[in-house]
Amino acid sequence: MEATAKAHTNIALIKYWGKRDEELFLPMNNSLSITLDQFYTITSVQFCECLTADKFYLNETLATDDETKKISELLDLIRKLSGVKMFAVVDSLNKVPTAAGFASSASGFAALAAAATKAIGMDIDEQTLSTIARRGSGSACRSIYGGYVEWQKGELLDGTDSYAEQVLHEKEWDLTILSVLLEPKEKKILSREGMRRSVETSPFYQGWLETVDEDLEVAKQAINERNFEMLGEVLERNAMKMHATTLGANPPFMYWQSATFDVMEKVQELRESGFRAYFTIDAGPNVKVLCQPKDEEYVRGALMALTPVQDVYTCHPGPGISYLPHTKRKTCC
């Protein structure tokens, strides 16, 4: 009863910001992302009668109780759905530069959901897999698919209609996503707390909700028409609106640092000099810059020249879930 799966992380162009049900990870709004080719998690899961508790290794090291608890919560759901009661040994390798503001939770929980459901013998389609990955971390439901992906928020109370779907295959439109690594400083407000506080206290959250569907439609039209400028403009203003909700929260908070502004200004300067480049920022200080592949070397060079920039990773649209031959590096019995 074992399986290994690989999932890539994703970057939201239209953000998931706010939950309507925290326990079931149900979002307030639809979101849209690109799955990235460079960053991924490979997870092996083995269920075995010999185990008396779940065991979780992260990058070759036995994980803390808190980290293992999150894994066990998703495994509990999978045990409940399958009717199998065994515990599992989980072995995860994360190729995600978490310091660069990429949530490893998206690729991590997508890979875990895929490997665990396969190992336990569940025969499910990708849509159902997406709803299961969502229960580990919301954005993980988008990492089941490659390319351009929309997470449908759904309407049902039980969340069975809240899953992701592919909008466009990764091979259908190439874009460059430059992930700009700034000096790592510890994130003060986790996204989970940040979205909760914005929903509950920010007067700007209503404005977010009132306009996000329109942003999503514009983004989808831009993807359909392969209109880079239209996509860039809408993803940048959507990110700015998400961050505006944090400024209006009580107490207010801000994910940006001074280096974040340096990158934002550089992107605006690049645009003024004729390069189509646009930024987006998640729940942290780091910036992702989107541009066209023909411009990626120039734009990367301009970003690397900024003093607070430590590195810039070049990414392109990447694939969805894949299953690998099982690699048994950590054994249970």
Q: How far is the CB of 242 from ligand 2P0 (least distance, A)?
A: 6
N- to C-terminal Cα distance for the chain?
Answer: 13
Q: How far is it, in rounded angstroms, from Cα 101 to Cα 212?
A: 23
15 contributes a contact to ligand 2P0 by CB under 6 A: yes
- Only segment of 13-21, 60-68, 90-98, 266-274 that touches ligand 2P0 (CB under 6 A): 13-21
94 contributes a contact to ligand 2P0 by CB under 6 A: no
Q: Where are the alpha helices (DSSP H) in the chain?
A: 65-82, 104-119, 126-134, 191-201, 205-225, 228-247, 258-272, 296-304
Q: Is 20 helix (H, G, I), strand (E, B) or coil?
A: strand
Instruction: With beta carbons less than 8 A apart as the criterion, state whether 235 and 212 touch.
Output: no
User: Which is closer to ligand 2P0, CB of 25 or CB of 40?
Assistant: 25
User: Which is closer to ligand 2P0, CB of 3 or CB of 239?
Assistant: 239
User: Which is closer to ligand 2P0, CB of 49 or CB of 76?
Assistant: 76
User: Which is closer to ligand 2P0, CB of 15 or CB of 220?
Assistant: 15
Q: How far is it, in rounded angstroms, from Cα 101 to Cα 104?
A: 9
Secondary structure element (H or E) that encloses residue 135, with its range: none
12 contributes a contact to ligand 2P0 by CB under 6 A: yes
* Given 192, 241, 271, 326, the residue binding ligand 2P0 (CB under 6 A): 192
State the CB neighbour count (10 A cutoff) for residue 125: 8
Q: One symbol per residue from 253 to 272: x for binding ligand 2P0 (CB under 6 A), - otherwise; what is it?
A: --------------------
Q: One symbol per residue from 27 to 56: x for binding ligand 2P0 (CB under 6 A), - otherwise; what is it?
A: ----x-------------------------
Q: Which of residues 162-181 bind ligand 2P0 (CB under 6 A)?
A: none
Instruction: With beta carbons less than 8 A apart as the criterion, state whether 167 and 223 touch.
Output: yes
User: Which is closer to ligand 2P0, CB of 187 or CB of 326?
Assistant: 187
* Given 4, 35, 43, 105, the residue binding ligand 2P0 (CB under 6 A): 105
Q: How far is it, in rounded angstroms, from Cα 129 to Cα 146?
A: 14
- Tokens 């999932």: give the residue: 7
* Given 137, 143, 179, 202, the residue binding ligand 2P0 (CB under 6 A): 137
138 contributes a contact to ligand 2P0 by CB under 6 A: yes
* Given 9, 16, 35, 180, the residue binding ligand 2P0 (CB under 6 A): 16
25 contributes a contact to ligand 2P0 by CB under 6 A: yes
* Given 267, 282, 290, 318, the residue binding ligand 2P0 (CB under 6 A): 282
One-letter amino acid at 178 equals L
Which residues, including other chains, have CB under 8 Å from residue 322's CB and lie 6 or more apart? 5, 6
Q: Alpha carbon of 333 to those of 51, 62, 147, 171: distances in Å?
A: 8, 16, 39, 43
Binding site for ligand 2P0 (CB under 6 A): 12, 15-17, 25, 31, 103, 105, 137-139, 191-192, 282-283
